[in-house]
Amino acid sequence: MKILVAGGGKPLYFLCRRFLAKGCRVTVVNRDADECGRLSRQLRAIVVHGDGTDPVKLEEAGVREADVVLAITPHDPDNLVICQLAARCFSVPHVIAVVNDPDNETAFQKLGVNAFATTRIIAGLIEQRAAFQEITSLIPLGEGRVIVTDILLQADMPAANRSLRELELPPDALVACLVRQGQAVIPRGGTQLLPDDRVMLISLPENHGPALRAITGERKGQART
């Protein structure tokens, strides 16, 4: 897979390192000559010095062969233009913008560009972790549109000692897997949830709260009536 990444800074460096480790071919487009020099020494990637919003420069960087274009500059309008050029002028199949201002997620969406804001994802993670001690990991997938939650079931939680069928989970939420005494179990409707089970919950962000409550009960800190 060939990925073209426009932008700079530490996030770009670490993302590229990861893409390269997974065997992708990576091209970086960066405006800053010094940073380009540094990146070309640090990464086994093609580094092109130039402005990613310039269609001529994008073409020089081989955008036509790219499977994915990722725009992660600190400047949201640049990210928009880079993605639109890649998709519309150069027919790149997947273009993704990482926006700095979370409000631009919807603005970009309306202009036909897939976008997500890292600040929103991080803020969501922190809020949810802070709210539930028993939740040990939360993984946003699909640009944060799917959430995987790992819950250590306590005896006083409403889901304990009940079968999956009896749980009143909202739509778009699924208990995908249990880990019981070190063994992974793919549960069926009749499977009982027991205290100390680790429950893997998959949910959409809009149903994440209700789904968690169905399993863990009221939020911590709130009065239980």
Partner 1 sequence: MSAHHYVVIVGCGQTGSRLANRLSAQGQSVVVIDRRPESFAALSLEFSGFSLEGDGTDSACLEQAKIGQADLVVAATREDAVNMMVAQLAHRVYRVPRVVARVFHPERASFCRELGLTTICPADATADAVLGLVGFGNSSCGCREDS
Binding footprint of partner 1 on the chain (CB under 8 A) = 53-56, 75-78, 80-81, 84-85, 88-89, 101, 103-104, 107, 110-111
Between 103 and 218, whose beta carbon lies closer to partner 1? 103
* Nearest partner of 186 among 173, 195, 170, 199, judged by Cα: 199
Which residues fall within 8 angstroms of residue 57, CB to CB, at 6 or more apart? 29, 48, 50, 51
Residues 89 and 115: beta-carbon distance below 8 Å: no
Between 112 and 171, whose beta carbon lies closer to partner 1? 112
CB count in 10 Å sphere of residue 140: 17
Tell me the two tokens of residue 18: 């990861």
Between 78 and 197, whose beta carbon lies closer to partner 1? 78
Between 80 and 98, whose beta carbon lies closer to partner 1? 80
**Cβ at position 81, least distance to partner 1 in Å:** 4
**Cβ at position 13, least distance to partner 1 in Å:** 23
Rounded Cα gap, residues 92 and 72, in angstroms: 16
**Cβ at position 58, least distance to partner 1 in Å:** 10
**Cβ at position 104, least distance to partner 1 in Å:** 8
